[in-house]
Structure 1
Amino acid sequence: ISIVAFSQGSAQIFASLSLYPDLNSKVISFVALSPALTPPGLFNKFVDNIVKLQPQLLFLFFGKKILLPTATTLWPKILPINLFNLAIKYSTLFLFNWENKNINKSQTVSFKNLYSPTSVKCIVHWFQILKTQNFQMFVSSDDLNENNNSIFEATPFPTRTNIKVPLLLVYGTSDSLVDIETLKKNLPEKTTFELPISKHEHLDIIWGDDVYDLVSTKVADFL
């Protein structure tokens, strides 16, 4: 089989291929769209510094279950579509500095499906990765010692040595969540290929107005 994954989905596939050698023999190729492996951080430095200081604080703010469960069930129903889109637009600008200039035709549909329910633990894991700049396994509160040094000793995913399938990295050059040089250092050099899309951001790679010509046809050729 061939795999195409986007953003966090790409990270999950990278982790799986690195941990399960047998999986590599079943996968012909892997295309990672906007691959977020070691994001440099949030655009808003205040929020970025707070969560990097102690990622476990997110459990205190949001609990230990689903993050913002009403975001997909309540907000789209009570907010007019234009107001909902505006809220999404300014939220992504505030956190990631995404201007979404390349998403016009599909903005109404894409923004409505942008947020998917996820666990607070998953977000904490991402901020642990942001803090250490290392694609590592999750560190639970029980594992943390008193001075919090154990987070820097977390087990990294062996992506560079254990992934054996051809990889295509498709990313926007204006994507604030993709640090392409750090990403390539974590992947096998000989089997990793890249497709940079000029002046495109994270979401543009799947929802941009010109995604068919710039991304889809190139991905089809690789597969």
Structure 2
Amino acid sequence: MRSAGIEGRRSARELAEAVGFSLEDHHAVTADGFVLVLHRLVTPDRLDGTDGDGGGRCEAKNIKRPRPAVLLMHGLMQDSEALLCGGRDHALGLRLAAAGFDVFLGNARGNRYSHKHLRRSPVTSDAYWDFSIDELARYDTPTMIDHVLKVSGQTQLCYIGFSQGTAQAFAAFSSDPDLQAKVFLFVALSPAVRANHLSKSLLLSLVQANLRFIYLLFGRRRMLPVALTWQRMMSREFFVATIDGAISYLFSWSASEVSAKRKLEVYPHIYSFISVKCVLHWFQMMYSGRLSMFADGPASQYVPVTYDVARVSCPVAIVYGGRDHLVEVESLIEILPNVVLSIREDKYEHLDTMWADTAKDTVFPKVETLVRQMCPTTGNGGPTIW
């Protein structure tokens, strides 16, 4: 039986090449010294080369036009691999690239790909791992957006985030009007802005615990690095069963919309490195129910400094599941000033907007159509076919 370890886990490049795409590695350095890796999807028929000087163009009917830029951002404890699982039909980024968009996949600081810093070592430095969602919003998000616009030659892009990828964007856009002006559409898949009240004892106990206890339990660097050892030791089938059991106990998720075959494809990509502090930040926000800044001290004494999400005025599309009990979406929709599309899939849980077997039919076509309609380079009457 084949191991679920790293040797059996395909890289982002391998996942793309398996369906006829290739990847360009792009490096963008944040103001605080992290080297972020973005993966640009290259379609087999692209003729413009890879010189990075605004050549993101598509040749169709002998007409050259700039290809609309799209930046996709993964969720908590994930990396760009999570956005590539399942091939052209089941991976939104691959679908959009095949449709003619200039697609970039982001990687948050500290994960498997964005694992370098100009001065600090992830192996020996506690300071390397001293970051939370605040730093993802303040540094990573604008750095990636600016890099994509520079390389693609565009003035605006479409930002698509899943879960944490939405949280860092909402925080970044609410804090920086100039940044959100660079976004012609923000697609929020399972937006993690407002958390529902928790009922499970273990997770609730961790959320309420003193930060010193959490640091004692998990350390001050990477969160659960032993997960990679578990993958190496377990068969894929047993690893899938373990993940199913964990998410059922912690979040009451059934994962019924993801088939057994698909779980074998996607679950090996469910974990990538993230800081313990970042997870603690999520604990604080789950306790308060708000998208707010990190604060030292126990959750019971936590007075959140909240990001004003109502200031996000760029066009926003919300996609969420009716059975997603982790986040509360309806009140978010009410306070956002410019919601252009809201898609609720009644059977979907949190992961399903990205990984459900049926997302290719229920979610992805609507997102693709909306991106075409909202793109400023295609005209007010709807986009042209490139």
TM above 0.5: yes
Instruction: Name the structure with the higher helix share.
Output: 1
1:172 is aligned, of 313, 321, 325, to: 321
- State the 1:193 CA deviation: 3.4
- State the 1:23 CA deviation: 0.6
| Greater C-alpha radius of gyration | 2
Conserved in 2, the CA contact under 8 Å of 1:55 and 1:127? no
1:214 is aligned, of 358, 362, 367, to: 362
User: Could you tell me how far apart the structure 1 residues matched to 2:340 and 2:206 are?
Assistant: 32
User: Could you tell me how far apart the structure 2 residues matched to 1:109 and 1:89 are?
Assistant: 14
Could you list the per-position Cα deviations for residues 41-80 of structure 1 after superposition, in whole angstroms to 9, with x for gaps in the alignment? 4452x12431232351321210111111121x32211111
User: Could you tell me how far apart the structure 2 residues matched to 1:222 and 1:200 are?
Assistant: 21
Structure 1 stretches of 5 or more lacking a match? none
Superposed, 1:135-154 pairs within 5 Å as 135-141=291-297, 149=301, 151-152=302-303, 154=304
2:349 is aligned, of 176, 198, 201, to: 201
Q: How many residues align?
A: 213
SS at match of 2:258: coil
- State the 1:192 CA deviation: 5.3
Match of 2:208 in 1: 53
Match of 1:28 in 2: 184
Match of 2:262 in 1: 106
2:306 is aligned, of 156, 160, 165, to: 156
Conserved in 1, the CA contact under 8 Å of 2:196 and 2:327? yes
TM-score (normalizing by structure 2): 0.52
SS at match of 1:51: helix
SS at match of 1:74: helix
Conserved in 1, the CA contact under 8 Å of 2:194 and 2:329? no
User: Could you tell me how far apart the structure 1 residues matched to 2:226 and 2:203 are?
Assistant: 24
Instruction: Name the structure with the higher strand share.
Output: 2
Match of 2:237 in 1: 82
Conserved in 1, the CA contact under 8 Å of 2:313 and 2:337? no
User: Could you tell me how far apart the structure 1 residues matched to 2:352 and 2:269 are?
Assistant: 14
Structure 2 stretches of 5 or more lacking a match? 1-156, 372-386
Pair 1:97 & 2:252 matched = yes
- State the 1:116 CA deviation: 2.2
The 1:193/1:94 distance shift into structure 2, 3 A limit, reads: same
Percent identical across equivalent pairs? 31
SS at match of 2:245: helix
Could you list the per-position Cα deviations for residues 136-161 of structure 1 after superposition, in whole angstroms to 9, with x for gaps in the alignment? 100024xx7xx963x22x31112112
Conserved in 1, the CA contact under 8 Å of 2:240 and 2:264? yes
